Amino acid sequence: MHEFSMALEVLALAGREAERNKAKSIQEISIEVGDLSGVDADAFESALGLIVKDSILDQARISLVRTAGTGTCNNCNDEFEMNHRMATCPKCQCFPSEVKGGEEFRVVSLVVE
């Protein structure tokens, strides 16, 4: 379950940013998790929920933004949403020739006080 170690890293990053900005608390953190990132967003959210108690993120509003990937069909050139790597074109069931987005895992914003 690498989601737990990723949650620990997000907590460490938040702590470093708070220290760098001489902040006493973090009000809000927004994290983008792509459907194709290899991160189970639900498991990550659960892990984060377990480790924030008595931390700099204890009172923070935590927002997870899930993003789907987009594929371009190899056969008909149609663009379609991909929520997993083996998704096929809904029109012709071919695999994508190109995948755009959905692989992100990043802290998008952090509001400190």
pLDDT tens for each residue of 56-88: 999 999 999 999 999 999 899 999 999 888 999
C-alpha 77: how far from its chain's center?
28
Q: Where are the alpha helices (DSSP H) in 1-113?
A: 2-20, 41-51
Q: Spell 74-86 as b/e; 16+ CB within 10 A means b.
A: eeeeeebebeeee
Q: Which phi and psi angles does 59 have, rounded to 5°?
A: -100, 5
Question: Which whole-number Å values give the CA distances from 54 to 9, 50, 58, in the listed order?
Answer: 16, 10, 6
Mean pLDDT of 18-42: 94
* Model pLDDT, residue 113: 87
Mean pLDDT of the chain: 94
Task: Tell me the helix, strand and coil percentages in the chain, rounded to 5.
Answer: 25, 35, 40
* Model pLDDT, residue 12: 96
User: Are 45 and 52 contacting, i.e. CB atoms less than 8 angstroms apart?
Assistant: no
Does 1 score more than 80 pLDDT?
Answer: no
The pTM for the full model equals 0.85
Q: Which domains does the chain have, with CATH numbers?
A: 2-112 (3.30.2320.80)
* Model pLDDT, residue 80: 95
